[in-house]
A and B are shown apart, each in its own frame.
Chain A
Amino acid sequence: MTTGHFTSVEDVSARLAETGYLASPAVATTVFLADRLGKPLLVEGPAGVGKTELAKAVAEVAGASLIRLQCYEGVDESRALYEWNHAKQLLRISAGRDETWDEARTDIFGEEFLLPRPLLTAIRGDEPKVLLIDETDKADVEVEGLLLEVLSDFQVTVPELGTITATRRPFVVLTSNASRELSEALRRRCLFLHIGFPDEELECRIVRLKVPGLDAALAESVVRVVGALREMDLRKVPSVAETIDWARTLLALGADTLDETVVRDSLGVLLKHQEDILKASAKLDLDAV
């Protein structure tokens, strides 16, 4: 069963590029396969390389609505799947005082009192949808069990209503920063994609796209310096998001080339720990900060 948004790998790259998401061959290939095989896509990688952006871009390309489940410690079935609207049910019961129990019961467990949460919303309805399950690793293990049913069969069972099966599969993206090891069972149901830092040429294109005013030569220098920082042994290496921030900063500062002063003054945009800044300045032969 496919979700049927794309015709080929090249089609994925081209259409994602139109929305401003430049995909590496790895990203384009796995997105194409996830679409073609109808399997969820598990995306891992460091913060700020565009995992969440990927889901947004796919939604935009496919003309689908984006449904987002943000995971956190303590997210549970009623936040992820569905909930009964208790307050409304109580109102309904007190409004109809003289009806029999059987009438009331069949009534208060109907569609009207059901509050669909992201997973149920993603399964119901025929319009194209992209389901983003963000930071899956933050959720407790129990939620993973819940996801297993939804992601393998694309169905949800509500005891009072019966089983609801998707008539049209959503395109599912799960993201994770690997702060907790996801269960083997969940990984098995997904295609796995690791988004690392892009290569130099791709990152240059990304910077030029996101910061249009920036001079081409300067963009190249920026990417090279960031690349060198990533090779160092730092607590937090700069990500693509930081590269873009830095490029914007340089543009705002009106710098047209990189020199020692500019780099020293703006290194804080790239690096978030004082010890990293010291280490990087030593390595880049900057004067003491």
Chain B
Amino acid sequence: MKAPAASGVPERLTALVQALRSHGIRIGTGETVDAARALEALGLADREYLREGLASALLHGTGQRAVFDPVFDLYFPRGVGVPEPGSGPAPDRDELRDRIAAALAAGDEALLGQLAAEAVNGFGGYGSSPGSDGWSSYQTLDRLRPQTLLARVRASVLAQATDSGFADRLLDDEIRRRIEEFRRQVRTEARRRVAERRGADEIARRGVAPTADRVDFLFAGRAQLAELRRTVQPLARKLATRLAARRRRASRGTIDLRRTLRGSLSTGGVPMRPVLRRRRPVRPELVLLCDVSGSVAGFSDFTMLLVQALHDQFSKVRVFAFVNRIDEVTGLVVRGAADPEGLGARIMAQAALTGWHDSSDYGVSLGEFAERYADAVGPRASVFVLGDARTNRSDPNLPALRRVAERARRVYWLNPEPHTQWGTGDSAALAYAEVVEMHECRNARQLGELVARLLPV
């Protein structure tokens, strides 16, 4: 594994492509050649031009940019080694904070980039020797605490402003954004230096966060869930148009003779364009059973959001939530459209989902569903069960699921656990998979693909 500085430009480009591929961005050889031609046309003089040029040749979608930028920074770094050799010993902390504050007040991004490099240089190194063992953005930020500069920056901006107006009430948010940008630059710089030491390939694989649609539901943090939520709206729109197209195609059938002949008048009675008979579309029904216990909350929360967004595609959507008892939450899901954030919490608060303990029990819940809500499932209904099928060693109650499957048009089970873990420990996944079709569904991308494939037309 070579450090990027040691290799030539073509090697660097192919290493960059490799790193992007390892993050699931599909790049063909043709695109790599295009990128090389772009590199040739642009030259290495301006790094930002190069970044945009390579991105345009290699990427195919907007979401991939979040992965591309940090990887690009690793393979085509701003500088190599320590930025200002003359800077000597570690700069004074207070003096550096003063300069950062001034740059934040001016909103000067280029200067902030330089300061970020200086900050990592002065405060980010750890280990014994001056060349040190590593560079830490966490340590740098912990010592500098840029977030505490807010009041100072605000004061200096207000002092410089000639007239304070309405827009000043936005100032705090703006300064917070600039500080966040500075922190990002510090992280980039620290990552770049670590990459120099250990080789960019390793850092590019491990140190760069995946795109939102590939984040594992079960391990997503708060911020990532928020990001996932933002992907729901476009995803729902895409699915809706795809469903509409499928419905249209499905409705193409026999030739409507009367309308074909009427249409042929403009071509002298020769029927140039056959007109097809329109079929009356039937809107399918959808029933959702969601495990909302703590272990899979991120998954069910997200899926319900998607259903909410797809709501108008179906004549009837009913949503049931369960932990060890089941309750209908359709009303909550539909009304909650304006406030997706609190959906999960509201369901937990307002529906009766737990009996005398808090752990999930699929057997009891399925049994209760088959008994109490049998009318929800008819021959036009597609049922989706969402959950990890971990029943805490209680009876899985397969007959109940079988009864539901007999009544419904189709039943699918989406499981957020990787396929390899099904049936391990207290998971009844394999047993359930024998009764109904079970699919692995670990991230937004898989969910989108599955929903598009499985949803009834």
Contact = CB atoms under 8 A, between A and B. Distances in A.
A285 B61 contact: no
A224 B237 CA distance: 30
Contacts of B266: 86-87
A286 to B, nearest CB: 10
B237 A179 contact: yes
Given A180-B238, A181-B238, A285-B169, A275 B338 contact: yes
Contacts of A178: 62, 234, 238
A181 B338 CA distance: 26
B336 interface: no
Interface-central residue, A179, A200, A260, by most chain B CB under 10 Å: A179
A263 B268 contact: no
Contacts of A90: 267-268
A259 B166 contact: yes
Interface residues of B, number: 44
Contact of A191 (B57, B169, B267): B57
B282 interface: no
A180 B61 CA distance: 12
Interface in A50-94: 86-87, 90
B272 interface: yes
A282 interface: no
A26 interface: yes
14 contacts: A26-B55, A32-B42, A33-B56, A178-B62, A178-B238, A179-B237, A187-B61, A192-B55, A194-B62, A217-B162, A231-B177, A257-B163, A258-B166, A259-B165
A184 interface: yes
Contact of B170 (A36, A184, A228): A228
B245 interface: yes
A225 B167 contact: yes
3 closest Cβ pairs, A-B complex: A258-B166, A221-B167, A29-B52
Given A37-B41, A228-B170, 4 more contacts: A25-B49, A33-B41, A180-B241, A193-B56
Contact of A180 (B28, B56, B162, B242): B242
Interface string A30-59: 101100110101001100000000000000
A188 B30 contact: yes
Interface in A188-236: 188, 191-194, 200, 217, 220-221, 224-225, 227-228, 231
Contact of B41 (A32, A194, A263): A32
Interface stretch (B31-39, B75-83, B296-304): B31-39
B214 to A, nearest CB: 16
B338 A30 contact: no
A43 to B, nearest CB: 10
A262 B56 CA distance: 41
User: Chain A at the B interface: mostly helix, strand, loop or mixed?
Assistant: helix
B238 A9 contact: no
Nearest to B26: A184
B53 interface: yes
A191 B56 contact: yes
Given A37-B37, A225-B166, A30 B241 contact: no
A33 B167 contact: no
Nearest to A196: B62
Nearest to A78: B273
A242 interface: no
Contact of B165 (A32, A45, A258, A284): A258
Interface string B246-271: 00000000000000000000111000
Nearest to B60: A187
Interface string B328-339: 000000000010
Interface string B203-238: 000000000000000000000000000000010011
A86 B269 CA distance: 12
Contacts of B174: 224, 227-228
Given A29-B49, A30-B52, A30-B56, A217 B38 contact: no
A39 B30 CA distance: 12
B304 to A, nearest CB: 18
Interface-central residue, B165, B166, B238, by most chain A CB under 10 Å: B166
A39 B170 contact: no
Interface-central residue, B26, B53, B62, B173, by most chain A CB under 10 Å: B53
Contacts of B107: 200
B184 to A, nearest CB: 15
A182 B57 CA distance: 16
B65 interface: yes
Given A86-B267, A184-B60, A224-B170, A33 B42 contact: yes
Contacts of B95: none
Contact of B56 (A29, A140, A184): A29
B375 interface: no
B28 A192 contact: no
